[in-house]
């Protein structure tokens, strides 16, 4: 089950391994992602409006047809894959960064980065975890100190759309210095556009949430509040989530949010 990018990864791996794969996506993923998945040889089923609906259907298929289930974010092997990102940072940076910025959907990337920081001895590096309002299941869990489910996903950042974050993500927030930040959809989409201008790279609103931390002055605010060190010598931003976005979609999002 996937909102998009995790499904593409599974379909790519299955094609390389010569294995059949079915990817269940919600209707909000759109026809472009379905086409890309089918191009990779995956069988695609559309179920429900949000990822949680698609995951329920995937679990049903696994149970009734004897298939293996591949979870898009809540599994130690997924975290292990994400942890390799920090190994690469360790190998390429002269010194550890003062902060790592990333987006949280279900929490797999966060869990993996935390695991990676431990592996390289960088446990004290703060992580700033961004979500868009309306897909902020991690933030409500952190605020409550327990897992809570959002009633619905109302954000345009559909790839962040897990109503309930992984239990491991909440544990990470309780074990390490993870600063949860919620940005507005409009801030995420503006950050997408600014990043396209700055770096010639088009990303999805999910990634725009992390970039918005930079472009809206959130880091400076956290410094003033004493939650981040001053000055920040280096900051790492995990830029991921660009498999399901086109320029026309960004323009449509701007129009939808009144940013034209």
Tens digit of pLDDT for each residue in 181-217? 999 999 999 999 999 999 999 999 999 999 999 999 9
Give the end of a domain, one of 63, 93, 108: 63
Q: Are residues 93 and 25 in the same domain?
A: no
pLDDT score at 3: 85
Cα distances (Å, whole numbers) of residue 249 to 73, 134, 156: 25, 19, 11
First to last CA, the chain: 34
SS3 category, 156:
coil
Per the structure, the complete domain to which residue 110 belongs is given by 76-257
Q: How far is CA 46 from the centre of its chain?
A: 21
pLDDT score at 158: 84
Q: How far is CA 213 from the centre of its chain?
A: 14
pLDDT score at 246: 86
pLDDT for 176 beyond 80:
yes
Q: What is the pLDDT of residues 210-238, one digit of tens each?
A: 999 999 999 999 999 999 999 999 999 99
25 — pLDDT class (breaks 50, 70, 90): very high
pLDDT for 242 beyond 80:
no
Q: Are residues 191 and 112 in the same domain?
A: yes
Query: What's the total number of domains in the chain?
Result: 2
Residue with tokens 């931003």: 237
**What pTM was computed for the model?**
0.93
Q: Is 96 left (phi over 0), alpha (psi -120 to 50) or beta?
A: beta
Q: Are residues 43 and 134 in the same domain?
A: no
* 8 Å CB contact between 241 and 29: no
List Cβ neighbours of 63 (8 Å cut-off, separation of 6 or more).
none
Give the end of a domain, one of 15, 42, 63: 63
CATH classification at residue 37: 3.40.50.1100
Does residue 68 sit within a domain?
A: no
Q: DSSP letter for 133, please.
A: T
Q: How far apart (Å, rounded) are the C-alpha atoms in residues 164 and 137?
A: 6
Q: How far apart (Å, rounded) are the C-alpha atoms in residues 176 and 130?
A: 16
Q: Are residues 159 and 197 in the same domain?
A: yes
Does residue 197 sit within a domain?
A: yes
């Amino acid at each position: 089950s996937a909102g998009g990018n995790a499904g593409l990864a599974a379909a790519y791996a299955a094609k390389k391994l010569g294995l059949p794969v079915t990817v269940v996506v919600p209707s909000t993923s759109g026809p472009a992602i379905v086409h890309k998945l089918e191009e990779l040889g995956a069988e695609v089923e559309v179920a429900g409006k949000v990822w949680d609906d698609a995951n329920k259907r995937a679990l049903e298929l696994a149970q009734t047809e004897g298939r293996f289930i591949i979870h898009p974010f809540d599994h130690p092997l997924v975290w292990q894959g994400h942890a390799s990102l920090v190994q690469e940072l360790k190998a390429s940076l002269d010194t550890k960064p003062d902060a790592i910025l990333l987006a949280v959907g279900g929490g797999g990337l966060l869990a993996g980065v935390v695991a990676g920081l431990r592996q390289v001895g960088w446990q004290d590096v703060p992580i700033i975890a961004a979500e868009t309002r309306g897909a902020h299941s991690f933030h409500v869990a952190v605020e409550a100190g327990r897992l809570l489910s959002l009633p619905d996903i109302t954000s345009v950042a559909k790839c962040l759309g897990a109503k309930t974050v992984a239990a491991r993500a909440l544990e990470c927030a309780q074990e390490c210095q993870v600063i949860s930040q919620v940005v507005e959809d409009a801030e995420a989409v503006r950050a997408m556009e600014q990043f396209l201008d700055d770096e010639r790279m088009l990303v999805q609103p999910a990634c725009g949430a992390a970039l918005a931390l930079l472009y809206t002055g959130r880091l400076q605010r956290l410094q003033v509040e004493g939650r981040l060190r001053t000055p920040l010598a280096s900051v790492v931003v995990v830029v991921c989530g660009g498999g399901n976005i086109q320029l026309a979609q960004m323009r449509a999002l701007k129009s939808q949010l009144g940013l034209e």
